[in-house]
């Protein structure tokens, strides 16, 4: 069996914010991929605006670095479970993984999620203990935690013998011992070359190439990225693509791309073990196999986790529709959703009886909110319903998604957090007191119990708590109400501008969401009521002026700070009878039925 010693394929996996992308930066810099005078951004692989703003990786991306005579293909994966569809497919393209773990935080829920996927594929692991320079780093304990996690996830004997590299990606240092840090990435590179297996050279056999990622380019159309499993591929070659439904389609490879650093370069030929991108077929999809015409043989289909959450997307029909967005018609919104399906395999878009309404299903709140955020930035206006978990039948029993929740909180707040998660049908699995005032709690909670919980959690822990959760499994539906908002809302009575006087009159009724001067319409939610019922209020009320003067009459009006919601917070806040109106400039909450009398009649009928 001949091996391609000139190449290694590795994925970098980790929990959110443990430093994967920063580590890839250092590998790119240290390998001499850039010219000395080349301007390079931090977190180069996070190319999207939202990725840069939030400091998270959303799309899996690949790069290649040259170390001595070996090409190392590196795939940077998302750490968030909502983008698990990206992680699973990446595992098919690589022979090993570098698991990056924070030297203080240790293993987190999404470390478990991504590692489980890697071990299932029998990949060879390397552990990188990052942020070793943190003052409270605890390398020995974290390595024990990692080993326990490997054993718990069923790693075999070879996988348990993982090598460990200690690093500080931010400082560009690494070493094989925690206290032996030098400004070099050599220890990590040599560990990759020594431990990650080289791909088998099967370039003489018939071609098999599976599409794992999709990209789109206005000039060449769809681009399929994947690894050549066997054989070789050339520009101009006539090949056949094996579709999911069993049909075959002939096409010609019009362009072939390889990767160097952050650039995609045109190449003429590639062979087994190489990660390349091809174009030439318009409707190529993830999981399809490209084969030679003489030996059409499909690879096993890629299994992608099903969506767990769904929302209704509607055309905006509020009184302010069309004021701020460029694209507001059903045709434009549908086109945009269909375009998203071309590259996002974890998303589902289903039409409904109405041409203005679609059911969109995704892997979680973050997955869907990133899509919505991208749409509003592109100029779309739309309305959204409350997110709902997808119930599916397993062996005739209705089951709902359950998540593993890990909470790090100061000791003083553990009681409040345990009580609130218990009320949301959470089951406590573990509790560890680190002895430094911080407590780590682990729970299993139904996904619907977590909808809207993060805001409540931040209030309970005064902003000091850290909440992480990841999809665990489908389990039988728990009966009764789980989670949900308890408070009612303040609803505007009429169209107009919110006045300082009107807001002052309402401050003792609850928390206000709009600032003075904000335009509101009848049926729009302008605040949270401090009781459980909804209250229709006149927020546009002006103060009656008189010609009577007195020394104390005209004092400066001061109002409390209003609550501004981000898109995720607004979606989590919704109730069943409410919509979130999203435009390029505003996020508004509203009642489905705007008219007060009709709303009250509908509420009576539903009782």
Give the torsion sign (CA, 345, 347, 352, 355).
negative
DSSP symbols for 45-64: T--SHHHHHHT---S-EEEE
Closest CA to 275 of 292, 252, 257: 257
Nearest to 533 by CA among 605, 572, 593, 485: 485
DSSP 532-594: SS-EEE-TTPPPPP-S---TTTSPPP--PPPPP--HHHHHHH--TTEEEEE-SS-EEEEESS-
Residues placed in the known binding site for GTP? 17-22, 130-133
Phi, psi of 514 (to 5 degrees): -115, 150
The whole-angstrom separation of Cα 220 and Cα 209 is: 19
Burial 88-110 (b: 16+ CB within 10 A, else e): bbbbbbbbbbbbbbbbbbbbbbb
DSSP assigned state of 213: E
d(Cα 108, Cα 463) in Å, to the nearest integer?
19
Binding-site residues sit at 17-22, 130-133
- Please enumerate, as own/partner, the contacts of 52-57 that have beta carbons within 8 Å and a separation of 24 or more: 55/17, 56/16, 56/17, 56/80, 57/20, 57/21, 57/83
DSSP annotation of 243:
-
Phi/psi for 47 (5° steps) reads -90, -20
**What's the distance, CA 290 to chain centroid?**
29
Contact partners, residue 125, CB within 8 Å, separation at least 6: 96, 97, 98, 99, 115, 118, 119, 150, 155, 159, 162
286 within 8 A of 211, measured Cβ to Cβ: yes
Residue from 100, 11, 126, 15 nearest 404 by CA: 15
For the chain, helix, strand, coil in percent to 5 are: 25, 35, 40
Residues 6+ apart with CB under 8 A from 47: 61
Q: Which helix (H) or strand (E) holds 466?
A: strand 466-476
Alpha-carbon torsion angle 284, 285, 291, 294, nearest 10? -60
DSSP of 295-352: S--PPPPPP-PPP-EEEEEE---STTTTSS-SB-SHHHHHHHHHHHHHH-TT-EEEE-
Distance CA(199)–CA(10), nearest Å, equals 11
- The answer to whether the CB of 448 falls within 8 A of the CB of 471 is no
DSSP at 370: H
Q: Which of 281, 123, 270 is nearest to 208 (CA)?
A: 270
Closest CA to 227 of 7, 68, 25: 7
From residue 285, alpha-carbon distances to 93, 208, 212, 227, 281 in Å are: 16, 15, 9, 14, 10
Three-class SS state of 407: strand
């Amino acid at each position: 069996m001949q091996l391609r010693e000139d190449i290694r394929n590795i994925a970098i996996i980790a929990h959110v914010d443990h430093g994967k992308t920063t580590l890839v930066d250092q590998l790119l810099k240290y390998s001499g991929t850039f010219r000395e005078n080349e301007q390079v951004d931090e977190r180069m692989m996070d190319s999207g605006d939202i990725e840069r703003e939030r400091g998270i990786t959303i799309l899996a991306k690949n790069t290649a670095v040259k170390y001595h005579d070996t090409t190392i293909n590196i795939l940077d994966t998302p750490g968030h479970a909502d983008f698990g569809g990206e992680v699973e497919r990446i595992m098919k393209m690589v022979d090993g993984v570098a698991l990056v773990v924070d030297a203080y935080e240790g293993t987190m829920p999404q470390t478990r999620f991504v590692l489980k996927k890697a071990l299932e594929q029998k990949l060879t692991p390397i552990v990188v203990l990052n942020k070793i320079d943190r003052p409270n780093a605890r390398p020995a304990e974290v390595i024990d935690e990692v080993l326990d996690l490997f054993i718990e996830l069923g790693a075999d004997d070879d996988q348990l013998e993982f090598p460990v590299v200690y690093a500080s990606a931010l400082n560009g240092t690494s070493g094989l011992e925690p206290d032996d840090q030098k400004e070099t990435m050599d220890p990590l590179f040599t560990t990759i070359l020594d431990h990650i297996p080289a791909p088998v050279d099967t370039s003489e056999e018939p071609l098999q190439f599976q599409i794992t990622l999709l990209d789109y380019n206005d000039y060449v159309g769809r681009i399929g990225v994947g690894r050549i499993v066997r054989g070789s591929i050339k520009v101009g070659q006539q090949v056949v693509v094996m579709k999911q439904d069993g049909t075959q389609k002939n096409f010609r490879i019009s362009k072939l791309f390889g990767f160097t650093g952050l650039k995609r370069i045109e190449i003429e030929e590639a062979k087994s073990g190489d990660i390349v991108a091809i174009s030439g077929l318009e409707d190529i999809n993830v999981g399809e196999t490209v084969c030679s015409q003489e030996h059409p043989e499909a690879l096993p289909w890629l299994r992608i986790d099903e969506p767990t959450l769904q929302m209704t997307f509607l055309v905006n029909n509020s009184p302010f529709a069309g004021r701020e967005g460029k694209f507001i018609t059903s045709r434009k919104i549908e086109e945009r959703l269909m375009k998203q399906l071309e590259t996002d395999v974890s998303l589902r878009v289903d039409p409904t009886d109405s041409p203005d309404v679609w059911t969109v299903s995704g892997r979680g709140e973050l997955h869907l909110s990133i899509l919505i955020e991208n749409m509003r930035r592109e100029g779309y206006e739309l309305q959204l319903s409350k997110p709902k978990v997808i119930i599916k039948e397993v062996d005739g029993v209705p089951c709902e998604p359950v998540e593993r929740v890990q909470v790090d909180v100061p000791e003083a707040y553990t009681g409040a957090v345990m009580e609130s998660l218990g009320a949301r049908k959470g089951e406590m699995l573990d509790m560890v007191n680190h002895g430094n005032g911080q407590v780590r709690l682990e729970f299993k909670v139904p996904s619907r119990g977590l909808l809207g919980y993060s805001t409540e959690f931040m209030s309970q822990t005064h902003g000091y708590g850290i909440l992480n959760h990841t999809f665990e499994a489908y389990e039988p539906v728990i009966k009764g109400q789980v989670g949900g908002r308890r408070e009612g809302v303040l609803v505007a009575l009429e169209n107009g501008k919110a006045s300082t006087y009107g807001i002052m009159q309402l401050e003792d009724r609850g928390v206000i969401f709009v600032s003075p001067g904000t335009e509101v319409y009848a049926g729009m939610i302008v605040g949270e009521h401090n009781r459980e019922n909804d209250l229709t209020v006149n927020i546009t009320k002006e103060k009656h002026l008189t010609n009577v003067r007195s020394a104390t009459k005209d004092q400066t009006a001061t109002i409390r700070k209003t609550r501004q919601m981000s898109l995720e917070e607004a979606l989590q806040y919704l109730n069943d009878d409410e919509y979130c109106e999203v435009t390029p400039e505003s996020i508004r909450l509203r009642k489905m039925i705007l008219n007060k009398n009709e709303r009250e009649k509908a509420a009576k009928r539903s009782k």
